[in-house]
């Protein structure tokens, strides 16, 4: 499995935790707070990434980026949107850009 393919695995784990919540699961506890709270958490993590990118170490930026991606996957999963759909959209945008060159 490539490192990028792990994102699909992680999303599958997140979906499983949403469908079969347990008290031990951070994902399930977070989702139980509702989409608004999850979106707020995503926003907080995004701001932390932005600030870290200009003021902290590469290791800290990596940690914050991981938090952003995780919380994005939770939001997408709560909406029933698969990561592949996001990749499809990025590919469409790239093809449009390439066709205008």
With cut-offs at 50, 70 and 90, classify the pLDDT of residue 99: confident
For 21-42, how does the pLDDT look when each residue is reduced to its tens digit (9 = 90+)? 999 999 999 999 999 999 999 9
For 43-76, how does the pLDDT look when each residue is reduced to its tens digit (9 = 90+)? 999 999 999 999 999 999 999 999 999 999 999 9
Q: Is the pLDDT of residue 1 over 90?
A: no
Q: At what angle do helices 58-79 and 5-19 cross, to 10 degrees?
A: 50
Say whether pTM exceeds 0.95: no
Cβ atoms within 10 Å, residue 36: 8
Q: Is the pLDDT of residue 101 over 80?
A: no
Q: How far apart are CA 10 and CA 63, in angstroms?
A: 16
CATH number, residue 38: 1.10.287.1080
Count of domains observed in the chain: 1
Please give the residue that has the higher pLDDT: either 62 or 4.
62
Find, among 23, 80, 71, 21, the residue nearest to 49 by Cα.
71
Using alpha carbons, list the distances in angstroms from residue 29 to 32, 52, 64, 68, 81.
5, 26, 20, 17, 20
* Owning domain of residue 63: 5-99
Contact 11, 76 (CB under 8 A): yes
């Amino acid at each position: 499995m490539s490192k990028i393919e792990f994102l699909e695995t992680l999303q599958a784990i997140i979906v499983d935790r949403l469908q079969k919540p347990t008290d031990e699961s951070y994902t399930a506890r977070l989702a139980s707070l509702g989409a608004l709270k999850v979106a707020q958490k995503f926003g907080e993590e995004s701001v932390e990434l932005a600030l870290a990118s200009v003021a902290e170490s590469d290791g800290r930026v990596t940690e914050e980026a991981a938090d952003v991606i995780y919380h994005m996957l939770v939001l997408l999963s709560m909406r029933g949107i698969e990561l592949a759909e996001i990749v499809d959209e990025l590919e469409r945008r790239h093809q449009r850009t390439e066709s205008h060159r």
